[in-house]
Structure 1
Amino acid sequence: MSVELTVVVPAYNEERRLGPTLAAIQEHLESTQRGAWELIVVDDGSTDRTAEIAAEASAADSRVQLVRGGRNRGKGHALRLGVLASYGRRVLVTDADLAAPIEEIDHLDKALADGHAAAIGSRARPGATIGAHQHRLRELLGRTGNFLIRTVAVPGVRDTQCGFKLFDGDRAREAFAASRLHGWGIDVEILQYFRRSGWPVAEVPVRWSHQEGSKVRPLDYVRVLAELTALKARAVHRADVLVGLLFLALSLVLFSGRWISPAHRYFPDSMQDQNQWEWFFAVTADNVRHLNNPLVTTLQNVPDGVNLMANTVMLGLSVPLAPVTWLLGPAVALNVAMTGGLAATAATWYRLIRRRLVPHRGAAALGAALAAFAPPMVSHANAHPNFIVLFMIPLIIDRALRLCEGTRVVRDGVVLGLLTTYQIFLGEEPLLLAALGMLLFALAYAAVRPDVARASWRPLARGLGIALAVTVPLVAFPLYWQFFGPQSYKSVLHGDNAGNSPLAFLSFAERSLAGSQESAGPLSLNPTEQNAFFGWPLIALAFAVVVRLWDRAVVKALAFTAVGAALLSLGPKFRIPLTDIVLPGPWAALSGRPLFESVIESRVAMVCAPALGMLLALALARLLPAPRRAHQYAGLAAVVLALLPIVPAPLKAVDRVDVPPFIAQGTWRAYLGEGETLVPVPVPDPANAEGLHWQTVADLQFRIPGGYFNGPWGPDRIGIYGPSPRNTSNLLRDVRTSGRVPEVTPAWRAAARQDLAFWKAGVLVLAPQRHDGELRATVDALLGRPGKWVGGVWVWDLHEDRT
């Protein structure tokens, strides 16, 4: 005879309550259940008479069974034994204290009759009634623990830990057979299994009353979280871990030249950007240490200072890495950020591709590697961590796709807002480019799948509104400071011809296996801006993949995204190669718009990298299971031939110029009074920012005029690289460039006195460098006296002029 209902009661040292509980359950089942029922008591290694009481009940009624669990191993183990021993079409699990009366099964039964696979009793849903309460402190701790559990593990369920749950029997046995936890966390583990399997779960309000002698302690909620964390760690597939390690290894190889000796190695292709970024990490750590405003500093560009929020200081990384900066220095902190960030970016692309496109791990790994380590990314790896540390972008994309599903709009909208907020503190321009790429994809996908668009736009719009409501309050002040605070500016002048040449897409980047400086240099702004060098073999392969898989809507959308981004990256106008024909580009419609006016348009081509990576993953997922070996081998050969030329080589690194003893040994301290600055000769600017390195070596103990940053210039506050020009800084820059000593007139001397007073200068310092003789002669002439050789530099003590 089939069993209609099984009731499972886990019990540990319950001799005082078990007898009345079993009697109450039997009485209710006898009077209400129309079919056969069974009652299973699982003794979890009790040391009192619990097992004897259950055995006596079993002897009196054969429908009551005793299952012995051996030694005490926890509620989860007991429940698993009981459910797996059950035969019921429905399975009820209830605690031995009957805090939720057995009569409440009728409410849960209605939920199963409505088509749910499980109905869980809830003390938090409207309609629930609570009789006797716990102690207020205990209740507060319990609610806090339950909140953490449901937020982290089972979002959307208000009460995961109420021990009164009714399941479809077959599904319960499958879920409990797959469970691994022995403790209280099994409640969450089972609910997660039901959710992953797509089995609907109802949360039903019940009557509940606290019973004295409860086995649950406030710290048990902490144990639940620990169990779930350990379970999640064990659930990570070894292949996924291996893929992550491979990404980290590739990143380490790429940056190996600087890891050899971080403080003494320099990437020459970064020009002055490595000095700038190390300074950004150093100044942020200094602001954190002294609880200063992290959005501004006066350590360079004295007296005006620098608006750090208007510069890409990556507070999202430089703040949490402040302890690394304090202990190991900014060079190591920058290395950690770039190496780890690039590997993490590849890992999140891998996660997105596996979750949304292809389950095949090998295909997803290769697609993610292309997305993260494509030639444009390797180019930016020389100098721009904000363009390679993009691990939030795939997470943002995934959350936006969840919004389109419309299942948990409020939660997903809140999470999207938090992710977006964090990305703003990692890099705003990459976020803008990612949004542009997502818009291109959405428009294309909506065109080919209007049915999906109609079903998705309402939850997406609502979720985006929620995300905006979360983001705006969090970033309102920093963005106000960025755009309207001290040393803010309107837009950045990048000059003309910042778009890509069409030939760049077919060519190879300098650090690609098939590339060289001679071939890439004429087609790019500099070695850090080789934004479109994917190479003709990869472009040809992508074209073939699109043709072969054209029937898939996602392929059409990815192809449109890649082509659209490539066209936009050509700039407001471009020349057709090998001709004198100049055509307008689609970027012209965006170039003068707010936010877009500061974008280097060639960078839009970076959107092509993840699009190409996803196309590659789709192709491999179709190719690898191919039944015909010949087709499989031919396809794999085509992939190898397309990717081999763009395999990245380790970035070039050279020994760093030694910091003069005058700086490194602190000799400079004797030359500076209160509030005075040290003036490197020539005055630091984007072409010569070694003075920033001097500052980081000296633990930011002195200030300098000039520097390398973005700041305002002129009455219109147009953004420029470096400080606003002054007569003396311009003169010294020209001498450094030309190597010619100018005729120093009284007017030049007067201008120098004025500029030195403006900079609050205490000492001028000239280190050995190209044209240092001409620079020394010029400064001698400006000040009317020679400098002195001290600690490996020429020094002009300005206090001598005041005595």
Structure 2
Amino acid sequence: MPSVSPSMPSAAVDLSVVVPAYNEEERLAPTLDAIAAHLREHENRFGAWEVLVVDDGSTDATRDVVTAASARDRRIRLVTSPRNRGKGHALRLGVLASAGRRVLLTDADLAAPIEQLELLDKALAEGNAAAVGSRTVAGATIERHQSAAREFLGRAGNWLIRRVAVPGVRDTQCGFKLFDGDRAREAFAASRLTGWGIDVEILQHFRRAGWPVAEVPVRWAHQPGSKVRPLDYLRVLAELTALKLRAVRPADVLAAAAFLLMAVALYSGRWADPAHRYLPDSLQDQNQWEWFFAVTADHVAHLRNPFFTTLQGFPDGVNLMANTVMLGLTVPFAPVTLALGPAVSLALVTTLGLAATATAWYALIVRRVVRHRGAAFTGAALAAFAPPMVSHANAHPNFVVLFMIPPIVERTLRLCAGTRVVRDGVVLGLMAAYQIFLGEEPLLLAALGMVLFAAAYAVVRPEVAKAAVRPLLKGTAIAAAVCLPLLALPLYWQFFGPQSYTRVLHAPNMGNSPRALLSFAERSLVAGDRTTADALSPNPTEQNAFYGWPLALVAFAFVVRLWERPLVKALAFTAAAAGLLSLGPRFGIPLTHMTVPGPWALFAHLPLFESVIEGRVAMVCAPALGMLLAVAVERLVHTPRVGRQFLGLTAVAAALIPILPAPLRSVERAPVPSFIADGTWRAYVGKDETLVPVPLPDSGNAEALHWQTAAGLGFRLPGGYFNGPYGPERVGIYGASPRFTSSMLRDVSFTGVAPVIGKNWRAQARADFAYWKAGVLVLPPQPYQDRLRETVDLLVGRPGKWVGGVWVWDLHEAGRPAPARTTLPAPHR
């Protein structure tokens, strides 16, 4: 236990001086004499005073020095600690033992002369709660420098501390600080650090409490024997990191763990055997995404251009930057992909990314919307696991791995406050640049959602909006200045590089039906209705609404009940406007044959928006509804009326239970033919040749991409599943530009009807094979395989051979030595 001696008189104290000391017998006596002499001389200004020297378990004669000084002036007191525990512990003991209206902290070496107290005292008189002596702000004087190495390391460490912990204070570690006494005692009583980091912890406490802190230039001189070492700045960062980790609430950890369990449960079918399970509702997208991971890992391993490849779409190739390759994750996961395969990487990214997204929404809601952790969890769960998110979880990682969107929203809100515009603008620019490499369309939709929210909030709180305009515009300009240079080359490649395109060709109207907003998605655990969902959506991966009528009804009721809150009004407008925009440029009135124009017509032909599937705008409703629900749940939890609380929470449960997601469907994956799996293909495909599947891969059948990844990307493919240009206007389509032979083979595979093959068809086929640099044609078992085989026999001029589970046509020139291979018997049909 610490002890304090001798006892102080009961008279009020105007100024307490706290001096931490550890083995300071040589430097302490002159320091105490200087402090006491100055305070005696200026008692008319500083009033009644006391000096508390905190001996932090010294092993020398430090206590004797203080005892002697106390004998000369009983206003000098000794506070002792039984053992050495660090400067932070010593300062806490001293401040809590103090009684002064103001509390001055100064080091035992008196590197900042006691005469500088007048400058700090003036800052407090001007209304500040604390005045920090600074060696770095304009007007400061350093009379005796440290060594160059110490000074460099000290400045670098202090810079890190400012960036990480206390932005706005340039010199956190100068030991000369004056505080309002009551606030200092409150802050030190709440402090937890025992080392050098307590300076930062106390300043953070003042910042969070909104108590103004002034940084005052002082005269400073390095003193020999200083206890501060350059590496102590790194110890400060370590202490602050540990403190931040300890400050995490158990409820926050539990929420993150719950989100991870929810994500694992959603993908449980795939996790049973990632390499051999397939999500059938992904259509062909799982093959495509695994190929994205594989080709990116291959580019990283061989230091190739990450924005382009000819492994698909040969010979034109694929502009990877113009496709959603998610380089922000496929590149960092390259080692995992190379070691465990693209299927495992994709499963990890979707599962961990979905959990991280829910956790990010949770953090934003706790910081900006509600404090109640249960309410925040409910809102974040809806934001990340709403029916449209679950639908996209089948096939579109870029629409479910959105962990950067909530931090972008948070940083934008910080800009509106205008406190650290430059810093927040730089961070926002970096965040936006990284999100571009995760997904551009989600960022565009998030920006649209923020604009809707801002417009509504500006109407209900015009004074707040007016104050936010200037810092927001300035911060956004800074963000753009940071972001655009980082993205100049990737975006140039995307929009002007090889195989770039102008816009993506979609159906004329991909908007939602009004019924879709109130119906239930296929994968809703309780109320799932596949027939209805299929009728109201293009496919299982684009069920972009389906929030269910109970949630819409409960949300409407809560909005009416909480209408007085500006946040509720803005969130309600955001959700309603996004739902209306998602109906498309024209939408039908349910139960009638009437169609009316929709507001999306205003956006449909704008750059960037023209490539957006408008039905996806309804995904903006998920976080808006989640935040509305969080506000309502917190209000219900805190209501004193038990009956109202019970009814309200029951209504919330009744709205959410019908849309709880069921695990995504998974099936056993079709095996890779042994012709590919055992490497037999190598005998047929030369260095500059391609393997041509029959029919060529496209968005309807991309199993050949799985063959390619299983073969370690050892061969190239014509055709494929990607976005590429078509025609003189370079409109984006799914797959390679069709050729006569590829279109004919596709038609036969769909209909089982082949054209009459004559000289013209054979000549065209030879030209197309030459264009593709085809080495071998490969026909796997499939519907209408007999008609396909007969057609290819006629095109090539000779029958194919059954090799390794597929029909094979070797296209090498006559007379070339045949590769050694084993021909297996044809399958029984």
Normalised to the residue count of structure 1, the TM-score between the two structures is 0.98
Q: Give the superposition deviation at 1:156.
A: 1.5
Cross-structure match for 1:13 = 23
Q: Show CA shifts across 1:182-218 (max 9, x none).
A: 1111111111111111111111111112122221222
Q: 1:44 aligns with which of 36, 56, 71?
A: 56
Q: 2:197 aligns with which of 181, 185, 192?
A: 185
Q: Give the superposition deviation at 1:775.
A: 2.0
How many Å separate the matches in 1 of 2:809 and 2:815?
12
Q: 2:507 aligns with which of 480, 485, 495?
A: 495
Q: What is the identity, as a one-letter code, of the residue corresponding to 2:490? A: P
Q: Show CA shifts across 1:100-120 (max 9, x none).
A: 111111111111111111111
Q: Within the alignment, does 1:789 sit opposite 2:802 as a pair?
A: yes
Segments of structure 2 that go 5 or more residues without pairing to the other structure are: 1-10, 817-829
Q: What is the identity, as a one-letter code, of the residue corresponding to 1:435? A: A
SS at match of 1:465: helix
Q: What is the identity, as a one-letter code, of the residue corresponding to 1:713? A: Y
SS at match of 1:218: coil
Cross-structure match for 1:600 = 613
Cross-structure match for 2:37 = 27
Aligned 1:52-451 pairs, distance under 5 A = 52-451=64-463
How many Å separate the matches in 2 of 1:69 and 1:555?
53
Q: Within the alignment, does 1:710 sit opposite 2:719 as a pair?
A: no
How many Å separate the matches in 2 of 1:772 and 1:209?
88
Q: Give the superposition deviation at 1:800.
A: 4.7
Q: Give the superposition deviation at 1:802.
A: 6.4
How many Å separate the matches in 1 of 2:509 and 2:744?
28
Q: Within the alignment, does 1:667 sit opposite 2:677 as a pair?
A: no
Q: Show CA shifts across 1:709-745 (max 9, x none).
A: 1010111111101000011111111111112333221
How many Å separate the matches in 2 of 1:102 and 1:407?
33
How many Å separate the matches in 2 of 1:58 and 1:757?
100
SS at match of 1:678: strand
How many Å separate the matches in 2 of 1:518 and 1:32?
88
Q: Which moved more, 1:336-345 or 1:646-655?
A: 336-345
Q: Show CA shifts across 1:718-776 (max 9, x none).
A: 11010000111111111111123332211111111111111122222222222222222
How many Å separate the matches in 2 of 1:699 and 1:133?
61
Q: Which moved more, 1:708-717 or 1:756-765?
A: 756-765
Q: Give the superposition deviation at 1:417.
A: 1.3
Q: Which moved more, 1:711-720 or 1:23-32?
A: 23-32
Cross-structure match for 1:635 = 648
How many Å separate the matches in 2 of 1:694 and 1:801?
28
Q: 1:506 aligns with which of 491, 495, 518?
A: 518
How many Å separate the matches in 2 of 1:59 and 1:767?
100
SS at match of 2:325: coil
Q: What is the identity, as a one-letter code, of the residue corresponding to 1:24? A: A
How many Å separate the matches in 1 of 2:814 and 2:126?
92
How many Å separate the matches in 2 of 1:407 and 1:298?
49
Quote the RMSD (CA, aligned, Å): 1.3
Q: Show CA shifts across 1:352-391 (max 9, x none).
A: 1121111111111101111111100000000001111111
How many Å separate the matches in 1 of 2:235 and 2:790?
73
Aligned 1:639-718 pairs, distance under 5 A = 639-718=652-731
SS at match of 1:189: helix
Q: What is the identity, as a one-letter code, of the residue corresponding to 1:635? A: G
Q: What is the identity, as a one-letter code, of the residue corresponding to 2:682? A: R
Q: Give the superposition deviation at 1:454.
A: 1.6
SS at match of 2:231: helix
How many Å separate the matches in 2 of 1:689 and 1:386?
19
SS at match of 1:706: coil
How many Å separate the matches in 2 of 1:405 and 1:394?
17
How many Å separate the matches in 2 of 1:165 and 1:781?
92
Q: What is the identity, as a one-letter code, of the residue corresponding to 2:305? A: N
How many Å separate the matches in 2 of 1:58 and 1:663?
90
Q: What is the identity, as a one-letter code, of the residue corresponding to 1:29? A: L
How many Å separate the matches in 2 of 1:369 and 1:771?
46
Q: Give the superposition deviation at 1:419.
A: 1.3
Q: Give the superposition deviation at 1:48.
A: 2.0
Q: Give the superposition deviation at 1:487.
A: 0.7
Aligned 1:608-619 pairs, distance under 5 A = 608-619=621-632
Q: Within the alignment, does 1:585 sit opposite 2:598 as a pair?
A: yes
How many Å separate the matches in 1 of 2:102 and 2:796?
95
Q: Show CA shifts across 1:326-369 (max 9, x none).
A: 22211111111111111111111111112111111111110111
Q: What is the identity, as a one-letter code, of the residue corresponding to 1:229? A: T
Normalised to the residue count of structure 2, the TM-score between the two structures is 0.95
Segments of structure 1 that go 5 or more residues without pairing to the other structure are: none
SS at match of 2:542: coil
Q: Give the superposition deviation at 1:778.
A: 1.8
Q: What is the identity, as a one-letter code, of the residue corresponding to 2:31? A: T
Q: Give the superposition deviation at 1:422.
A: 1.2
Q: Show CA shifts across 1:404-463 (max 9, x none).
A: 111111111111111111111111101111111111111111112112112211111111
Q: Which moved more, 1:186-195 or 1:461-470?
A: 461-470
Q: What is the identity, as a one-letter code, of the residue corresponding to 2:581? A: L
Q: Within the alignment, does 1:552 sit opposite 2:562 as a pair?
A: no
Cross-structure match for 2:3 = none
Cross-structure match for 2:494 = 482
Q: Show CA shifts across 1:665-697 (max 9, x none).
A: 222222222222122221111111111111211
Aligned 1:736-747 pairs, distance under 5 A = 736-747=749-760
SS at match of 1:702: coil
Q: Give the superposition deviation at 1:604.
A: 0.5
Q: Give the superposition deviation at 1:150.
A: 0.9
SS at match of 2:297: helix
How many Å separate the matches in 1 of 2:356 and 2:118?
50
Q: What is the identity, as a one-letter code, of the residue corresponding to 1:451? A: E
SS at match of 1:166: strand
SS at match of 2:378: helix
Q: Which moved more, 1:714-723 or 1:553-562?
A: 553-562
Q: What is the identity, as a one-letter code, of the residue corresponding to 2:598? A: G
How many Å separate the matches in 1 of 2:633 and 2:567?
15
SS at match of 1:799: coil
SS at match of 1:331: helix
Q: Within the alignment, does 1:537 sit opposite 2:553 as a pair?
A: no
How many Å separate the matches in 2 of 1:645 and 1:274?
28
Number of equivalences: 803
How many Å separate the matches in 1 of 2:421 and 2:154?
27
How many Å separate the matches in 1 of 2:647 and 2:571?
24
Q: What is the identity, as a one-letter code, of the residue corresponding to 2:761? A: W
Q: Give the superposition deviation at 1:396.
A: 1.2
Identity among equivalent positions (%) equals 72
Q: What is the identity, as a one-letter code, of the residue corresponding to 1:613? A: G
How many Å separate the matches in 2 of 1:745 and 1:215?
93
SS at match of 1:532: coil
User: Which stretches of structure 1, 4 residues or longer, exceed 6 Å deviation after superposition?
Assistant: none
Q: Give the superposition deviation at 1:47.
A: 2.0
Q: What is the identity, as a one-letter code, of the residue corresponding to 1:260? A: A
Q: Give the superposition deviation at 1:791.
A: 2.0
